[in-house]
Each structure stands twice: as structure tokens, then as C-alpha cells.
Amino acid sequence: MSELEKVYLEEIMGNYKGLKKQAERVFDQLSTEELSWTPNEESNSIAILIKHMSGNMKSRWTDFLTTDGEKPDRYRDNEFIDDMVTREHILNVWEEGWDVLFNTLDSLTEADLLKTVFIRSEPHTVVQALQRQVIHYAAHVGQIIYIGKLAKNKEWNTLSIPRGKSEDYK
């Protein structure tokens, strides 16, 4: 494997792991009820975002190199039905999706990076597909953080440098 491909695969893996960890730092602050809380009727709860991300991951990353990333047995609309009741169930659904993603990433080689894969019948190189999905998941992790902040309000524990403390981190 060339140095560039090795660095890229390590970097993209680190990006995905970082997103997962950041979201989990939000989950750690929230009760089961807060995981299912929505700021209004048109918004998704964190639990719904978890269900959607997991459904997307299972579809995209199962048989990644050989089948379309939009599997025929995926019912995307069902991912937006709030039917997960327990914290354990919510977090198990979260882990199921990430397990599929990480198993696939672990299996990729230098020779795979420029192969063509399909998402909704649209061709992508493996690199393009990896980038497309990391952007998708980053957007949803941003939503998770924002909803967590709204749910916790003044009890929110920042995930980065606290307000008024920037000088302490120079």
C-alpha cells in the first residue's frame, strides 16, 4: 500500500471514529427521555437520528464493494418512526450500524480505493463513497449535538472549549 493510501484509510477511519465518539459524549449526558425529545413537531429526536444513521450504515456498508448501497430491503421511511423505547435498544441500534461500517472499512485495501461502487444506481469511486458518507454522518452528529444542547440547556457539558476559556487553551 502506498503511503498516501495508507494515510487516507487511517484518516477516514479516524474521522468516522471521531464522529461516533462525539455523538456518544452527547448520549452520555442524556436520559432515555431526552434521547427521544424533539424541540418541535417537525424535528427528529436523537433516537430517530440514531435509527436513521444505523439504517443508512447497514444499507451502505453491507456488501459495499459488490451491491448498490441502497439495499432493496431498506425501508428508509421506517427509520423516522419513533418506536424505540429503551435506552438499551436505542444504543444497540447505534452500535449495529457502526459495526457494519467499521468491519467494511477494516476490510478495504489500497486496490479498493478507486473501484466503482453504486449508491442509488449512481457510480462513485470508493473514495467518493467514503467522503459522501462521512459528510452525511457529520451533518447528523451536528444535529445530535444541537438537540442535546437544547435538551440539557444550562446542564449541558460542552464537548469542546467552554465559553470564556479560549485563552486557557492556547
Does residue 118 sit in helix, strand or coil? strand
Higher pLDDT, 5 or 62: 62
Contacts of 50 (CB under 8 A, 6+ apart): 35, 84, 90, 91, 93, 94, 144
- For the segment 20-65, what is each residue's pLDDT rounded down to a tens digit? 999 999 999 999 999 999 999 999 999 999 999 999 999 999 999 9
Query: What is this structure's pTM?
Result: 0.94
Determine whether 155 is exposed, middle or buried from the number of CB atoms within 10 Å of its CB (0-12, 13-18, 19+).
Answer: exposed
Spatial contact of 89 and 139, defined as CB atoms under 8 Å apart:
no
The whole-number average pLDDT for the span 138-153 is 97
Give the ranges where 28-168 is alpha helix by DSSP (H): 32-35, 46-61, 87-107, 126-152
**DSSP percent split of the chain into helix, strand, coil, nearest 5:** 65, 5, 30
Q: Name the pLDDT band for 169 (thresholds 50, 70, 90).
A: confident
CA distance 33 to 45: 10
22 grid coordinates: 462525539
pLDDT tens by residue, 88-127: 999 999 999 999 999 999 999 999 999 999 999 999 999 9
The CATH fold assigned to 3-159 is Four Helix Bundle (Hemerythrin (Met), subunit A) (1.20.120)
